[in-house]
Amino acid sequence: MLPDFTDAATDETFHHVLGYRVTELRSGYARMDMDVQDRHRNNGDYVHGGVLMTLLDVVALRAGAFDYPQPRQILTLNLSTNFISAAMGDTLVAEGFLQRAGKSIYFADSKVSDGKTGEVFATAQGTFRFRLAKTS
């Protein structure tokens, strides 16, 4: 079952505040959809750049983590972001693409686009590191 963070009323985590849905998850690819709410926008009525960067980071992380056994923590080592266009849409689509993976480091690209028109708002290239999760 894919994780669902759409219940923002609980505000359990930052993911719930964003309210995105993981709509596709397979080897080397992840997709998340998010309905934009007023709280996601800045004073200029555009989607806040921090929201776009979070989506870029999380979807790239997920694209590279699918084939690895759990429990593992994944750390973002680097995220190089390019803002291309102001995001005014009501629905965002974030896609992540695994580029190359080693034993503990992997590289993934991501993009966020308008869910209706396909216009790309931002892209990123990330470097991620696996770390075994601590057990109690």
Its domain, for residue 58, covers: 14-132
User: What amino acid is encoded at 34 in this protein?
Assistant: M
**Does some domain include residue 32?**
yes
Residue 17 has a pLDDT of 79
Tell me the whole-structure pTM to 2 decimals.
Answer: 0.87
**Does some domain include residue 7?**
no
What is the Cα 128 distance to its own chain's centre?
13
User: How many domains, in total, are found in the chain?
Assistant: 1
Residue 5 has a pLDDT of 52
Q: Which residue has the tokens 């590279």?
A: 64
**Does some domain include residue 105?**
yes
Q: For 8-38, how does the pLDDT look when each residue is reduced to its tens digit (9 = 90+)?
A: 455 577 777 788 999 999 999 999 999 999 8
Residue 109 has a pLDDT of 98
**Does some domain include residue 99?**
yes
Position 136 confidence tier, pLDDT thresholds 50, 70, 90: low
Residue 71 has a pLDDT of 63
Q: For 53-98, how does the pLDDT look when each residue is reduced to its tens digit (9 = 90+)?
A: 999 999 999 999 877 766 678 899 999 999 999 999 899 999 999 9
Torsion of Cα atoms, 114 then 115 then 117 then 122, to 10°: 20
Q: Give the whole-angstrom CA distance, residue 128 versus residue 68.
A: 13
User: b/e string for 95-129 if b means 16 or more Cβ within 10 A?
Assistant: bbbbeebeeeebbbbbbbbbbeeeebbbbbbbbbe
**DSSP readout, 50-90?**
HHHHHHHHHHHHHHHHTTSPSSEEEEEEEEEEEE-S----S
**Does some domain include residue 5?**
no
**Does some domain include residue 101?**
yes
CATH of the domain at 90: 3.10.129.10
**Does some domain include residue 43?**
yes
Closest C-alpha among 109, 130, 128 to residue 120: 109
**Does some domain include residue 77?**
yes
